Amino acid sequence: MDTRYMWNYNLCKDFKAQRISSHWFVKMIQGFVDYQCPKDGLELILIARRRWRQGGTRYKARGIDDDGNVANHTEIEQLVFHHEAHAEPKPSPTNPNA
């Protein structure tokens, strides 16, 4: 389980120490997801999630700590899918069977 972006990790780690199954708690993230299809055959997905270590307002959380965690770190993924259109061949004088 990746806990870098799990905002309720500190609440759940005691449950994990008692060997309670992770099915009993929900992993919470702070982020954004957007999905768009601007034209046929193209899909765009944007996923952004914010790390919980050193999270805070712009003026309260700044810089980098001794472990290399930067303030308000956000990971962004962009997924682009392009689907080829399969067109039927048109009949032509050279290929009447198409």
Tens of pLDDT, residues 19-29: 998 888 888 88
Q: Is the pLDDT of residue 98 over 60?
A: no
Plot region of 67 (φ>0 → left; ψ -120 to 50 → alpha; else → beta): alpha
Q: What is the mean pLDDT of residues 3-20?
A: 88
pLDDT tens by residue, 30-46? 999 999 998 888 999 99
- Largest Cα–Cα separation, the chain: 77
Is-above-0.85 flag for pTM?
Answer: no
